[in-house]
């Protein structure tokens, strides 16, 4: 089953996704896309690390998420987070086509039939339209990536105030 867990900053999405992940069969794999750029983000990553069982294998990815997903044989995989992967991709290649990135990710997800995959991402499109054109482009790209990913997923959950709201059930 492929699940997409969305939510805002501090919504509880990562904690909820971790619960789903730990319910899945082993062997499992945590796929991290975030790189600490400042002390605050380092602390957030450390908090997430401390919440996971210490024996959970971690794979840190940068630009290539689809490749490692297509190659892993883990029975349960947690990806945290899709938004940071997109941010990395668009940050390194300002001309990246978000539709092509969504297709690339879809190819990586194709092999997950019969296994558990939980994908976390920040839902950032609920606020006002950003004044900066780069931020608008990112928000629109992430919204499109979420829509494409949701089409593939069996379940889509929006977490608000720690409460999971099911948008799609498989």
- Catalytic annotation present for 146: no
Please provide the CATH number assigned to the domain covering 2-168: 3.40.50.300
Q: What is the pLDDT of residues 81-98, one digit of tens each?
A: 999 999 989 988 878 888
Q: String of b and e for 58-74 (b: at least 16 CB within 10 Å)?
A: eeebeeebbebbeebeb
Residue pair 103/152 in contact by the 8 Å Cβ criterion: no
Instruction: Check residue 157 and report its DSSP letter.
Output: E
Q: What is the pLDDT of residues 105-157, one digit of tens each?
A: 998 888 888 899 999 999 998 878 888 999 999 999 999 999 999 999 999 99
- In the set 3, 13, 48, 146, the catalytic residue is 48
Instruction: List the domain boundaries for the chain.
Output: 2-168
Of 107, 117, 114, the C-alpha closest to 78 is: 117
């Amino acid at each position: 089953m492929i699940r997409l867990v969305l939510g805002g900053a501090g919504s509880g999405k990562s904690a909820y996704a971790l619960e789903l992940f730990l319910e899945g069969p082993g062997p499992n794999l945590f796929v991290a896309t975030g790189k600490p750029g400042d002390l605050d983000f380092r602390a957030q990553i450390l908090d997430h690390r401390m919440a996971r069982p210490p024996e959970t294998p971690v794979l840190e990815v940068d630009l290539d998420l689809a490749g490692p997903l297509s190659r892993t044989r883990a029975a349960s995989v947690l990806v945290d987070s899709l938004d940071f992967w997109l941010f990395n991709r668009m940050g390194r290649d300002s001309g990246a086509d978000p539709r092509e990135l969504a297709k690339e990710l879809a190819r990586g997800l194709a092999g997950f039939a019969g296994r558990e995959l939980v994908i976390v991402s920040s839902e950032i499109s609920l606020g006002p339209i950003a004044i900066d054109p780069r931020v608008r482009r990112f928000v629109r790209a992430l919204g499109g990536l979420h829509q494409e990913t949701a089409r593939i997923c069996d379940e889509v959950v929006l977490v608000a105030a720690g409460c999971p709201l099911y948008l799609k059930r498989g």
